Amino acid sequence: MPNTTVLNNLIDKNEYPMIFIGSGIPKRYLEDFPSWEGLLEMYWKQVNNDRSFYSFLNSIRQELLRENPSMLESEIDYLTNIKAGTQIANMFNELFFAEKISIGNFSQKNAFKTKIPPFKKAISNVFNEYKVKTEMHEEFDLFKKVLNKSQIILTTNYDTLIEDAFNDDNPNKIKKYIGQRGFFEQTYGWAELYKIHGSIESPSSIIIDEEDYDKFNKNSVLISAKIISLLINSPIIFMGYSLTDMNVRNIIKDFSSSLTPKDVSDMGSRIIIVEYDEGNDAIIEQNIYDSELECEYTLIKTGNFPKIYQKLININQGVAPSEVRRYQHIIKKLVVDNGKKGSLNTLLIAPQQLNEIESRIGDERIVVALGDTANIFRMPDIMSYVYDYILNKNEIHTDIALRFVASQNSRSRIPFFKYISGVNLDNTNLNPSEKEKIKQRIASCTDLTTVVNTINKSNKIVKNSLDAIKAEKWKKDKERDVISYNITKLDENEVAHYIEKEVVNLKKEGKLTISSAMRRLLLIYDLLVNKKD
């Protein structure tokens, strides 16, 4: 399979992905970040001085093997850590209550009043502070940009690295759901973070022992339902997990079990696992069917995460997920909340006015249609586009206009140079495919003489004034072609007035199409007036 095919498809389709982040990500970017096993070892040393940590783990592992001789090694390791976590938690809590272990800023009174298990409070303290590795700052900045291109983010991590990174440069903060609370609520489905194993600011939510995992597994269907509902429009990318990680395997197995055989096949390009492959600077893709998971997915192996990030950053729908969430939030306040009060009225606003309108929500009777009169949740048609362009109405946003231009057949003639004059296309919100189409259009029609030469030979009649052409009383398209042929000899203001009048009449007549001769005249006039050398 060609390298990065699935990522290129993601960019071409311009789909913001879901991203599922495991402990491999903070371990990659943060100094002294402990693994699950390392965390347990640290606390084992506090609760037991007589026995080595790995002697303790081996005894648990042997017991599990005796009880489950056919179990996969990865699952044995997973259950070993859970059972170890349970025993260490019990020992730690007993020692704390016996005042043989202390926790910073957490007294016996705190434990009694808050009912927070001491072991979970101690864990939250470990992850409360972190420092990004000096040598990883540049790559971490790319990672932050990827977070802001994610429709939703899910994680099994306890630390706050993800939300801190997302919010660092984003005025629209991410909405955070801790535990499984968000799966019981109606959510917007944009710019949301689901910390499914808990978070340090709510120590009781941390999943670490057998009882915690049992409760989590009982409600895992909620996570599956959320993922499946979003997979239609948003692929899911797992980062910071290995293929043997039971957290990710259990989650994939849960939601794949709800899919039909056809859905399973279709999911091959919708479920993407990025696995770190040290020393491999390339991006290698494999399409895998996992019989145990009964699921197809794409595995990407690389040691070059920046290359992955650079591709994902190219996804751009014109508005960031956090902004979509903000728009939805305001619309809900206006339509749903005020609607329940029977206090609705209408007001049409442009997107940039949303900040102003939020402050007006209260007793005012208001409903907002998000958009401008020329474009409310739709692309313009050719007549609307030309009318807005020629009459300088500026009611169609530049990004929408450029997207319309990119959507047209490359051979069709339409004016567009006004929108690209002095503009670096690479800095616009267009997706890569749209940018390329416009660049191709520019390359194919930048020469006025070339376009004039396409006029039918019978219409190449020399005239020196617009009045002289109109006096001939030719049919409209012949008249337009003769104007096009002589345009450099004619008075520019007179031609502008003629074109404006023609466009207004076409609009009044309700025309849905524009003749080739009129399109050619529009483009030739555009080249003459708006094309900058």
Structural domain spans, the chain? 5-24+130-202+221-313, 36-126, 321-370, 382-529
Phi and psi at residue 347, to the nearest 5°: -155, 130
Residue 511's contacts (CB-CB under 8 Å, 6 or more residues apart) are 383
Residue 53's contacts (CB-CB under 8 Å, 6 or more residues apart) are 40, 41, 44, 45
DSSP state, residue 320? -
- Helix H or strand E segment including 309: helix 305-313
Long-range pairs for 492-499: beta carbons < 8 A, 24 or more residues apart: 492/528, 492/529, 494/466, 495/466, 495/525, 496/525, 496/529, 498/466, 499/390, 499/525
DSSP state, residue 204? G
Entry pTM: 0.64
pLDDT of residue 75: 92
- Helix H or strand E segment including 18: strand 18-21
CA angle 503, 506, 509 (to 5 degrees): 150
- Helix H or strand E segment including 370: strand 368-370
Contact 190, 330 (CB under 8 A): no
User: Chain centroid to CA 69: how far?
Assistant: 43
pLDDT of residue 340: 44
Taking each continuous run of H as one helix and of E as one strand, the counts in the chain are 26, 10
Token representation of residue 293: 């998971």
* pLDDT < 50 positions in the chain: 1-2, 334-353, 361, 363, 365-377
Phi and psi at residue 375, to the nearest 5°: -160, 100
Report CA-CA distances (Å) from 63 to 51, 53, 85, 90: 17, 16, 16, 19
pLDDT of residue 256: 77
CATH code assigned to 5-24+130-202+221-313: 3.40.50
CA angle 138, 315, 370 (to 5 degrees): 120
